[in-house]
Amino acid sequence: MSTTKVNQVKNGAKFIADTAHRVSHDTHLWEARMRRDKVAQTIPEWEEMRNLASQIKKHTLSNLDYYLEEFEKNATANGIHVHWARDADEHNRIVFEIFKAHNVKVVTKGKSMLMDECEMREYLEPRGIEVYEADLGERIQQLDNERASHIVMPAIHKLRGDVAKLFAKYMDSDPDNDDPHYLNSMMRKDMRKNYIKVDAGMSGVNFAIAETGGIVVCTNEGNADISANVPPLYVASMGIEKLIPREKDVPLFVRLLSRSALGFHITQYTSHYHGPREGQEMHIVIVDNGRSERLSTPGYWEVLKCIRCSACLNTCPVYRRSGGLSYDAPYMGPIGIVLEPSYDLHRYAELPYACTHCGSCGNVCPVKIPIPEYVFRWRKILVEKKEDQLSHRLEMAVGAKVLGKEYTLEAAEKLALSALRYMPQSLLNSHLNPWAIKHTNPEPPEQTFRQWYRKQNKDSKK
């Protein structure tokens, strides 16, 4: 993985400059956010559900050692092989060893954020294993050699025309036909032959039930089901935080997940796997990869409550405008900017600044993760570790001087007012002043608020 600092502002600016993509991205995600509000409002107990889900996650995370062992015991009793991976490397090695032992050459993979986090495809492919993404969006991104730009809709930053042109490069399709049904049918035709020949299937896990030793996988296209049901070998990977204690907790999370993600009542496929089907071998790899450390960090552990619904992305004004690829990270948007620095503080040092502090992410999160607080937490850490931007440090130093004394602030107010009055409009409303792009500067007032207030006070004393 590269250690170069990600410049989200620069990457985002490229996306913003492309009006068609930006408008489509913003519109589609805002529609998802609005649908989420609409369906949430149809459930009177929605806020109670969020509270309960948050508490169940808190309880599980507080007793994670117990629930992990319970899950392992029950999953093993169900005939599932359970493995433990300390980090991404170990996860990838375990998966590769399983495949090697079964002489696996071709694999189909359902959508999994954890596998993206572990860069598993990048690990397997040079070792002679062909990996086919079964999720349509992921497959589009795989063909285009790009990472996912959204947790639930990996190719949402693309227009239909982009997909039509991309498909025409790899399959016998019409580059000018961007009808979604046509594109879907082309992909289906192309992928079916792969599904039949695969030696193994992989998927992520949405929920792992300690009580039963089973897993629940939610998708809208059935891509996990193809991976789990067609081949003779099935490997599922899950982070340690995916656990929930009881089977009866599942409906609560399923109800929250799909409504928060896309504003739909339920995901099209909510599949329960409680062991291999006849003649099949099933493995589950339980992965830590920094999670224990996050769990033991006071004031940050709640980040592990995340159910990867993407509601925080859909509502975030920065994410919607700048696109998911601008974060150059497996996780993007609000959850990305508070999660990624815990993987690599230097590389993702600028991400916590990709935030307007509107607080919307915290308001929509179904498990009530205090994301806005975490943004401030990371900024504090970045300053302490001297990983913040030099420009911010200078701004803060100047701000402290100006705001520290009444007379310096008063002088600055007068100076700003004079600048608004007397600076040539060609300078004020030019691209030298980024605020002026698509804005008009207000008419400068006659006096500063302080001058007006003093005058009022004087007049009333007369």
Contact between 335 and ligand SF4 per CB under 6 A: yes
Contact between 312 and ligand SF4 per CB under 6 A: yes
> What tokens appear for 53 in the block?
């889900």
**How many residues bind ligand SF4, per CB under 6 A?**
15
Contact between 267 and ligand SF4 per CB under 6 A: no
Among 118, 134, 337, 367, binds ligand SF4 (CB under 6 A): 367
Q: How far is the CB of 462 from ligand SF4 (least distance, A)?
A: 58
Q: Name the one range near ligand SF4 by CB under 6 A: 56-64, 107-115, 163-171, 304-312.
A: 304-312
Q: Name the one range near ligand SF4 by CB under 6 A: 85-93, 235-243, 309-317, 372-380.
A: 309-317
Q: How far is the CB of 115 from ligand SF4 (least distance, A)?
A: 17
| CB nearer to ligand SF4: pick between 140 and 369 | 369
Q: Name the one range near ligand SF4 by CB under 6 A: 87-95, 282-290, 306-314, 403-411.
A: 306-314
| CB nearer to ligand SF4: pick between 227 and 314 | 314
Contact between 32 and ligand SF4 per CB under 6 A: no
Contact between 306 and ligand SF4 per CB under 6 A: yes
Contact between 254 and ligand SF4 per CB under 6 A: no
Q: How far is the CB of 313 from ligand SF4 (least distance, A)?
A: 7
122 and 339 Cβ atoms separated by less than 8 Å? no
| CB nearer to ligand SF4: pick between 323 and 366 | 366
Instruction: Please give the C-alpha separations between residue 175 and each of 179, 191, 388, in angstroms, as whole numbers.
Output: 11, 18, 45
Q: How far is the CB of 216 from ligand SF4 (least distance, A)?
A: 16
> What tokens appear for 146 in the block?
């790009």
Q: How far is the CB of 234 from ligand SF4 (least distance, A)?
A: 26
Contact between 308 and ligand SF4 per CB under 6 A: yes
Contacts of 237 (CB under 8 A, 6+ apart): 91, 95, 112, 114, 115, 118, 120, 202, 203, 204, 205, 284, 285, 287
Contact between 39 and ligand SF4 per CB under 6 A: no
Q: How far is the CB of 19 from ligand SF4 (least distance, A)?
A: 27
| CB nearer to ligand SF4: pick between 149 and 260 | 260
Q: Name the one range near ligand SF4 by CB under 6 A: 76-84, 197-205, 245-253, 362-370.
A: 362-370
- Measured between alpha carbons, how far is 72 from 209 in angstroms, rounded to an integer? 10
Instruction: Please give the C-alpha separations between residue 354 and each of 201, 250, 263, 309, 324, in angstroms, as whole numbers.
Output: 37, 34, 25, 20, 12
Q: How far is the CB of 364 from ligand SF4 (least distance, A)?
A: 6
- Measured between alpha carbons, how far is 19 from 209 in angstroms, rounded to an integer? 45
Q: Name the β-bridge partners of 243.
A: 208
Contact between 307 and ligand SF4 per CB under 6 A: yes
Contacts of 444 (CB under 8 A, 6+ apart): 417, 420, 421
Among 365, 370, 375, 388, binds ligand SF4 (CB under 6 A): 365
Contact between 88 and ligand SF4 per CB under 6 A: no
- Measured between alpha carbons, how far is 388 from 352 in angstroms, rounded to an integer? 10
Residues in 403-462 at the binding interface with ligand SF4, rule: CB under 6 A: none
- Measured between alpha carbons, how far is 309 from 33 in angstroms, rounded to an integer? 12
| CB nearer to ligand SF4: pick between 131 and 309 | 309
Contact between 309 and ligand SF4 per CB under 6 A: yes
Contact between 104 and ligand SF4 per CB under 6 A: no
Buried b (16+ CB within 10 A) or exposed e, 24-43: bbbebbeebbebbeebbeee
First to last CA, the chain: 71
Q: How far is the CB of 139 from ligand SF4 (least distance, A)?
A: 22
Binding site for ligand SF4 (CB under 6 A): 260, 306-312, 335, 364-367, 369, 371
